[in-house]
Amino acid sequence: MSGNEKAVVLVSGGLDSTTVLAMAMEQGYACHTLSFDYGQRHRSELVAAERVSQAMGVADHKVVHLDLDSIGGSALTDMDIAVPEQETEGIPITYVPARNTVFLAIALGWAEVLDARRIFIGVNAVDYSGYPDCRPEFIKAFEATANLATKVGVEEGGLRIETPLIELAKHEIIQRGLALGVDYSLTVSCYQATEDGKACGKCDSCRLRREGFKAAGIADPTRYA
Protein backbone atom coordinates (compact mmCIF):
# COMPACT_ATOMS: atom_id res chain seq x y z
CA MET A 1 0.00 0.00 0.00
CA SER A 2 1.05 3.56 -0.68
CA GLY A 3 1.77 5.49 2.49
CA ASN A 4 -0.60 8.15 1.19
CA GLU A 5 -3.68 5.91 1.06
CA LYS A 6 -6.40 7.34 3.25
CA ALA A 7 -9.06 5.74 5.41
CA VAL A 8 -11.99 7.11 7.37
CA VAL A 9 -12.24 5.47 10.79
CA LEU A 10 -15.36 5.83 12.90
CA VAL A 11 -14.31 6.41 16.51
CA SER A 12 -16.62 6.57 19.50
CA GLY A 13 -13.93 6.87 22.16
CA GLY A 14 -14.61 3.29 23.22
CA LEU A 15 -12.55 0.13 23.34
CA ASP A 16 -13.63 -1.38 20.02
CA SER A 17 -13.25 1.66 17.77
CA THR A 18 -9.88 2.50 19.32
CA THR A 19 -8.66 -1.01 18.51
CA VAL A 20 -9.91 -0.65 14.94
CA LEU A 21 -8.03 2.65 14.62
CA ALA A 22 -4.83 0.95 15.78
CA MET A 23 -5.38 -1.82 13.22
CA ALA A 24 -5.93 0.64 10.39
CA MET A 25 -2.82 2.59 11.31
CA GLU A 26 -0.79 -0.60 11.58
CA GLN A 27 -1.82 -1.38 8.00
CA GLY A 28 -0.31 1.93 6.93
CA TYR A 29 -3.40 4.03 6.27
CA ALA A 30 -3.44 7.77 6.85
CA CYS A 31 -6.41 7.74 9.21
CA HIS A 32 -9.07 10.42 9.34
CA THR A 33 -11.21 9.80 12.42
CA LEU A 34 -14.90 10.63 12.56
CA SER A 35 -17.09 11.00 15.64
CA PHE A 36 -20.72 12.01 16.07
CA ASP A 37 -22.29 14.34 18.59
CA TYR A 38 -25.76 12.87 18.10
CA GLY A 39 -27.44 13.81 21.36
CA GLN A 40 -26.13 10.82 23.30
CA ARG A 41 -26.24 10.87 27.07
CA HIS A 42 -22.67 9.55 27.37
CA ARG A 43 -21.02 12.68 25.96
CA SER A 44 -17.69 11.99 27.67
CA GLU A 45 -17.12 9.53 24.83
CA LEU A 46 -16.61 12.52 22.50
CA VAL A 47 -13.80 13.77 24.72
CA ALA A 48 -12.32 10.26 24.72
CA ALA A 49 -12.55 10.03 20.92
CA GLU A 50 -10.61 13.26 20.51
CA ARG A 51 -8.11 12.18 23.17
CA VAL A 52 -7.51 8.84 21.46
CA SER A 53 -7.20 10.47 18.03
CA GLN A 54 -4.62 12.96 19.27
CA ALA A 55 -2.66 10.34 21.20
CA MET A 56 -2.49 8.05 18.18
CA GLY A 57 -1.47 10.78 15.75
CA VAL A 58 -4.25 10.64 13.18
CA ALA A 59 -4.24 12.81 10.07
CA ASP A 60 -7.45 14.59 11.05
CA HIS A 61 -10.31 14.28 13.52
CA LYS A 62 -13.82 15.50 12.75
CA VAL A 63 -16.98 15.68 14.86
CA VAL A 64 -20.31 15.82 13.01
CA HIS A 65 -23.36 17.12 14.86
CA LEU A 66 -26.66 15.25 14.50
CA ASP A 67 -29.94 15.49 16.41
CA LEU A 68 -30.87 11.84 16.83
CA ASP A 69 -32.20 12.79 20.24
CA SER A 70 -34.96 14.69 18.44
CA ILE A 71 -36.47 11.35 17.38
CA GLY A 72 -35.47 9.48 20.54
CA GLY A 73 -36.42 5.82 20.75
CA SER A 74 -33.33 4.77 22.69
CA ALA A 75 -32.04 4.95 26.25
CA LEU A 76 -28.93 6.58 24.80
CA THR A 77 -30.82 9.50 23.24
CA ASP A 78 -33.91 9.87 25.46
CA MET A 79 -33.18 10.85 29.05
CA ASP A 80 -36.61 9.61 30.10
CA ILE A 81 -35.65 6.04 29.21
CA ALA A 82 -33.42 4.39 31.81
CA VAL A 83 -30.26 2.57 30.77
CA PRO A 84 -30.79 -1.08 31.77
CA GLU A 85 -28.36 -2.47 34.30
CA GLN A 86 -29.24 -6.12 33.75
CA GLU A 87 -29.08 -8.33 30.68
CA THR A 88 -32.20 -8.29 28.53
CA GLU A 89 -33.55 -10.50 25.77
CA GLY A 90 -33.76 -9.40 22.14
CA ILE A 91 -32.75 -6.02 20.78
CA PRO A 92 -31.98 -3.83 23.81
CA ILE A 93 -33.40 -0.38 24.51
CA THR A 94 -29.85 1.01 24.08
CA TYR A 95 -30.17 0.33 20.34
CA VAL A 96 -30.31 3.72 18.58
CA PRO A 97 -32.63 3.49 15.54
CA ALA A 98 -30.66 3.56 12.27
CA ARG A 99 -27.51 4.87 13.97
CA ASN A 100 -24.88 2.89 12.07
CA THR A 101 -26.74 3.45 8.80
CA VAL A 102 -26.60 7.20 9.35
CA PHE A 103 -23.01 7.15 10.59
CA LEU A 104 -21.76 5.10 7.66
CA ALA A 105 -23.61 7.30 5.17
CA ILE A 106 -21.84 10.39 6.49
CA ALA A 107 -18.51 8.55 6.64
CA LEU A 108 -19.09 7.58 3.01
CA GLY A 109 -19.55 11.23 2.04
CA TRP A 110 -16.35 12.27 3.81
CA ALA A 111 -14.47 9.35 2.26
CA GLU A 112 -15.48 10.58 -1.22
CA VAL A 113 -14.30 14.09 -0.41
CA LEU A 114 -10.98 12.76 0.90
CA ASP A 115 -10.58 10.23 -1.94
CA ALA A 116 -10.39 7.50 0.70
CA ARG A 117 -11.23 3.97 -0.44
CA ARG A 118 -11.63 2.41 3.01
CA ILE A 119 -14.04 3.05 5.88
CA PHE A 120 -13.26 1.24 9.14
CA ILE A 121 -15.93 0.60 11.76
CA GLY A 122 -15.73 -1.41 14.98
CA VAL A 123 -18.93 -3.44 14.70
CA ASN A 124 -18.90 -6.87 16.27
CA ALA A 125 -21.23 -9.84 15.77
CA VAL A 126 -20.01 -11.90 18.74
CA ASP A 127 -20.47 -9.54 21.69
CA TYR A 128 -22.79 -7.27 19.75
CA SER A 129 -25.56 -7.07 22.38
CA GLY A 130 -28.32 -7.72 19.87
CA TYR A 131 -27.84 -4.68 17.64
CA PRO A 132 -29.07 -5.45 14.10
CA ASP A 133 -26.74 -2.87 12.53
CA CYS A 134 -23.64 -4.68 13.78
CA ARG A 135 -24.19 -7.81 11.68
CA PRO A 136 -22.11 -8.87 8.66
CA GLU A 137 -25.28 -8.93 6.55
CA PHE A 138 -25.87 -5.24 7.20
CA ILE A 139 -22.29 -4.27 6.40
CA LYS A 140 -22.34 -6.24 3.15
CA ALA A 141 -25.63 -4.63 2.12
CA PHE A 142 -24.45 -1.12 3.00
CA GLU A 143 -21.21 -1.57 1.06
CA ALA A 144 -23.17 -2.69 -2.00
CA THR A 145 -25.51 0.29 -1.69
CA ALA A 146 -22.56 2.66 -1.21
CA ASN A 147 -20.94 1.50 -4.41
CA LEU A 148 -24.19 1.87 -6.34
CA ALA A 149 -24.91 5.36 -5.06
CA THR A 150 -21.59 7.20 -5.29
CA LYS A 151 -19.17 8.58 -7.81
CA VAL A 152 -16.37 6.51 -6.30
CA GLY A 153 -18.48 3.40 -6.83
CA VAL A 154 -19.59 4.19 -10.37
CA GLU A 155 -16.44 5.73 -11.86
CA GLU A 156 -13.50 5.04 -9.57
CA GLY A 157 -13.47 1.38 -8.64
CA GLY A 158 -15.49 1.53 -5.43
CA LEU A 159 -14.67 1.43 -1.75
CA ARG A 160 -14.79 -1.10 1.05
CA ILE A 161 -16.22 -1.11 4.54
CA GLU A 162 -13.64 -2.77 6.81
CA THR A 163 -14.85 -4.56 9.95
CA PRO A 164 -11.76 -6.22 11.46
CA LEU A 165 -13.52 -6.99 14.76
CA ILE A 166 -16.65 -8.54 13.31
CA GLU A 167 -15.89 -12.12 14.42
CA LEU A 168 -13.75 -11.46 17.51
CA ALA A 169 -14.77 -11.91 21.13
CA LYS A 170 -14.12 -8.99 23.46
CA HIS A 171 -11.03 -10.56 25.03
CA GLU A 172 -9.58 -11.17 21.56
CA ILE A 173 -10.17 -7.54 20.65
CA ILE A 174 -8.35 -6.44 23.79
CA GLN A 175 -5.44 -8.76 23.09
CA ARG A 176 -5.13 -7.45 19.51
CA GLY A 177 -5.18 -3.87 20.76
CA LEU A 178 -2.59 -4.42 23.45
CA ALA A 179 -0.31 -6.06 20.88
CA LEU A 180 -0.59 -2.83 18.88
CA GLY A 181 0.14 -0.63 21.89
CA VAL A 182 -3.39 0.64 22.58
CA ASP A 183 -3.77 2.45 25.90
CA TYR A 184 -7.27 1.44 26.97
CA SER A 185 -7.20 3.82 29.93
CA LEU A 186 -7.84 6.59 27.37
CA THR A 187 -11.14 5.01 26.30
CA VAL A 188 -14.71 5.33 27.59
CA SER A 189 -17.26 2.58 26.84
CA CYS A 190 -19.99 3.14 29.44
CA TYR A 191 -23.51 4.03 28.25
CA GLN A 192 -23.96 6.41 31.19
CA ALA A 193 -20.45 7.58 32.01
CA THR A 194 -20.00 10.68 34.15
CA GLU A 195 -18.85 13.93 32.56
CA ASP A 196 -15.26 13.13 33.47
CA GLY A 197 -15.52 9.67 31.92
CA LYS A 198 -16.04 7.42 34.92
CA ALA A 199 -17.99 4.26 34.14
CA CYS A 200 -21.10 3.06 35.96
CA GLY A 201 -19.90 -0.55 36.04
CA LYS A 202 -23.51 -1.78 35.66
CA CYS A 203 -24.68 -1.28 32.06
CA ASP A 204 -24.33 -3.84 29.27
CA SER A 205 -21.32 -2.09 27.77
CA CYS A 206 -19.51 -2.03 31.12
CA ARG A 207 -20.31 -5.72 31.65
CA LEU A 208 -18.92 -6.76 28.28
CA ARG A 209 -15.82 -4.62 28.77
CA ARG A 210 -15.14 -5.93 32.29
CA GLU A 211 -15.65 -9.55 31.23
CA GLY A 212 -13.35 -8.97 28.25
CA PHE A 213 -10.44 -7.81 30.37
CA LYS A 214 -11.02 -10.71 32.78
CA ALA A 215 -11.03 -13.27 29.97
CA ALA A 216 -7.90 -11.68 28.49
CA GLY A 217 -6.14 -11.97 31.84
CA ILE A 218 -5.48 -8.23 31.84
CA ALA A 219 -6.07 -5.76 34.64
CA ASP A 220 -9.08 -3.58 33.86
CA PRO A 221 -7.90 0.05 33.49
CA THR A 222 -11.45 1.43 33.54
CA ARG A 223 -12.18 4.24 35.98
CA TYR A 224 -15.43 3.42 37.75
CA ALA A 225 -17.65 5.94 39.50
Q: What is the pLDDT of residues 7-38, one digit of tens each?
A: 999 999 999 999 999 999 999 999 999 999 99
User: What CATH number has the domain bearing residue 156?
Assistant: 3.40.50.620
Is 89 within a domain?
yes
Residue 125 pLDDT grade (very low, low, confident, very high; cuts 50, 70, 90): confident
Task: Report the alpha-carbon distance of residue 33 to residue 202 in Å, rounded.
Answer: 29
pLDDT tops 80 at residue 127? no
Is 225 within a domain?
no
- In the chain, the number of structural domains is 1
Residue 128: the pLDDT is: 65
pTM across the whole model:
0.95
Residue 1: the pLDDT is: 56
Residue 4: the pLDDT is: 78
Is 121 within a domain?
yes
Is 223 within a domain?
no
Task: Report the alpha-carbon distance of residue 171 to residue 160 in Å, rounded.
Answer: 26
Q: What is the pLDDT of residues 45-88, one digit of tens each?
A: 999 999 999 999 999 999 999 999 999 999 999 999 999 988 77
pLDDT tops 70 at residue 3? no
Q: What is the mean pLDDT of residues 197-221?
A: 95
Nearest Cα residue to 44 out of 170, 200, 165, 208: 200
CA distances from 50 to 27, 60, 71, 166, 198 (A): 21, 10, 26, 24, 16
Is 172 within a domain?
yes
pLDDT tops 60 at residue 153? yes
Residue 143 pLDDT grade (very low, low, confident, very high; cuts 50, 70, 90): very high
Residue type, 157: G
Domain holding 60, by residue range, is 6-216
Is 130 within a domain?
yes
Is 221 within a domain?
no
Residue 29: the pLDDT is: 98
- Choice between 32 and 92, residue whose per-residue pLDDT is larger: 32
